[in-house]
Chains A and B, each alone.
Chain A
Amino acid sequence: MTSPLVTYQLNKTFGAHQALGALTLEIPFGRVVGLIGRNGSGKTTLLNLACGLLLPTLGTCSTLGRPSGELAAPELSVLGIVAQAGQFINWMTVAQQLQFHASFYKNWDQPREQRLLDELDLNPARKIDELSPGDLQKLGIILGVCHHPKLLLLDEPMSALDPIARQSLLKFLLDLVREDEGTIIISSHLLSDVEKIIDWVVCLDRGELAVSAPYDELQERYAEWIVTPASGSELPRKFAEPWVLAREGDSRRARLQVRLPSSETIAQFSAQHSANVIDSRPLNLEQLFPLLINERSLAQ
């Protein structure tokens, strides 16, 4: 299966500001990708480049097998976009706007549209300029998914939704993966919500790629250790090993966040610092996020 989004040395510069620099990335097919990164890291720029709104300054970006600047009707009819600030025709009602979009897609799924309207609790008779931001977001979602997209790009789709609506959306996205057999790229700051559905993580930091890996792998790569000194000694203030990423605590008990090394290295570690690793726990996405960012800046 062709990868839905491939970039090669992708660079995007706005005047003096470089938003993306030499980004080389390949999104695997059929995954739910979580696009994470700090504000200003280039996530939105990447999504805008992927759908052809921006053209690369250098490098290439291909969406669904075609250069993103040349997306035409065949690709567009299987591309779904859910933007954070949806732009709608304000004088229309929800139903009219849905009808408008539906008329452009051959495979618009009317039952799915109805199901979403019910699940997300959106009244189709309301005028768009009377909707709250949460309702606007819901409308944006419905407009983006009803034509069975093979690639769905979502930028902060849940920021304005209440918890119940969020759960509905997450559940729906998973249904989508099953039914449409497509790829989803979701950019969100709500890591605790997003980690329920993603299975691939792309992390950007200041316009460059920090990590692109399966989520499982990341979960198994890092751990949190509780370390106590062997009797009679104290723990060093700082552990010099490069795979020790963060340290908390005092000289008698420390909590470390580590990138898991081989067992010999662990043994060496215990011996060298006269410390015992008494507990090792995995980290969730919220805890992993700062590690992924920091690791990259340390590596430079």
Chain B
Amino acid sequence: MNWRVYLTLLRPWHSAQMVGLLFMLFFGLRMVVINLLGNTEGNALAGWGFVMPVIFGFVLTDAVRAPMHHPFGMFLPDLRRHLARWHLGTMGTLTLLCTGMIWKYDSALPPLTVAGIVAVLNLILLPGIWQVIGRVSQLFVLLVLGILTIAMVFPEELRLSILAHPWSIGLGAWALAWFFFHGVFSCRSGKRNAQIPYLPFISSSISTRKKAEKSEGRTSSKVKHPSPWTTTPSDGSLRAWLDVPHYVLTGKNLIGSFMPLLRLCVLGGLSAILFAQNDSGEIDRVLYRFVWFYQKPDNLIFWIVILNSIRTTGFLQPSCVYPISRAQQAKVHYLNFVIGMIVKITAIGTTFVLVAWFVANRHDWPRPMLGVVNLFQMLAWLFAVGSLLQGISLRYKIRQNTNAQSILLVLAFICAVIFSVFVATHLTFIFSLTGVACLVVLIATSQYVYYAVVRRYFRKMDFIMLNPSRSGSAP
């Protein structure tokens, strides 16, 4: 394998775009944190020691993912050895680069330890490349986000702890790095992972069915329609309020399973930082009315089910069902999207309010944050940015796999948080009529753009794809 082939794998233009996008995202997030927490000093460690390695690691991992993922990776002689060598080479160079930058700005930090941390973060996404085990890759992404958040929010503490225990941290980091690298590039792991059904020869009907069953079981972790809550009726406790909707939406219990709990913690943490208030007078009022009306989560579910049925029935009208014209299809698609977005946003908003209220009532939160009004602002941004991102993915035919939707939502969410916080802390007119008008304009523009994209798409797209199995389903 030569340098030309590796360069092709790296996809320079595509990777540059990704790096740029990610960099801007983190930079923006950094601005938010600086604003919120008041510490104006970034430090080289957080930037070059944490963020850049992860970004670079993401790009390098992507390059390696493609050949390792495919079954022909089992047949090309010494594929793993070559890939490992090249990966090691580029990773080593980047590690040196990042460590050098840190050394330049902050020579007090021990370079070996820092290099170890850089190496680990470079490799941290690598074990997650086996997307056949979807949970694992999600887990690692969340892990990375957590680490990065800590690095950006508490850079000084991080720096101090590294200075305090250079050897243990360094050794641990290098050990982990080796562990990741070896685990991914060794032959045994390759065989183990490739045997999960990616057989190059088309199997007979029996194994094809088994293959379909297996992959179906993996990807349909989300239940599409809310299932009725059939067990014992719940009470009005907070736990019930959290548990029941979660079960309905995802088909799994909130308490007792790992991933949703993690998600909840992330959401909870964010909402606490942003919206919890000491005197939660307004939240209390809203919530009290909310809880009083429904009494128990079961009733809420009941209403959700009814509303969903209404929506489904609405979409069964002849004007929405095939055969219809392309323009009409565009309208239906757009309507479906908007309703879906509204539902998601309502769900997110509700969760935030609930958790914020829970946290605010239980702790003395010293710093007043933004308040519930900004929640609505954030939701408006989420709506607008979400539509725009969806439009972009439609326009540039980003291949839809089962994770793409959630990734887009997360991305929109991050952007929405950044924008809304920035706007709230810098533009005081946001609470006036002008501010509301701006928000309305924002939403209207985003919807117009998205609708235009959808119309164009339906007008121009070919309904039959040459290789439907290859590029995933049509949106």
Contacts and interface: CB of A to CB of B under 8 A. Distances in A.
Interface of A: 14-15, 17, 19, 39-42, 44-45, 47-48, 51-55, 69, 72-74, 76-77, 79, 81, 83-92, 96, 99-101, 103-105, 129-133, 136, 143, 155-156
Given A39-B205, A76-B77, A130-B466, A48 B1 contact: no
Contacts of B205: 39-40
A267 to B, nearest CB: 45
Nearest to A83: B200
B74 A54 contact: no
A53 B8 contact: no
B206 A48 contact: no
Contact of A129 (B70, B194, B467): B467
A99 B195 contact: no
Contact of A44 (B8, B11, B70, B201): B201
B218 interface: no
Given A91-B11, A133-B467, A53 B194 contact: yes
Given A14-B207, A155-B201, A87 B11 contact: no
B202 A99 contact: no
Given A84-B201, A89-B67, A105 B206 contact: no
B71 A87 contact: yes
Given A41-B204, A84-B201, A101-B72, 11 more contacts: A15-B210, A51-B74, A52-B191, A76-B75, A76-B78, A83-B200, A100-B9, A100-B67, A130-B466, A143-B72, A155-B202
12 contacts: A19-B204, A48-B201, A76-B78, A84-B200, A89-B66, A89-B67, A90-B471, A91-B11, A100-B9, A104-B1, A105-B77, A155-B201
Interface string B59-73: 000000011001110
Contacts of B67: 89, 100
B77 A131 contact: no
A97 to B, nearest CB: 9
Contacts of A48: 199, 201, 203
Contact of A39 (B4, B200, B204): B204
Contacts of B470: 90, 129
Interface string B193-232: 0110011111111110010000000000000000000000
A20 B72 CA distance: 24
A14 B206 contact: yes
Nearest to A143: B72
Given A77-B77, A81-B75, A47 B201 contact: yes
A88 B203 CA distance: 18
B206 A92 contact: no
B186 to A, nearest CB: 14
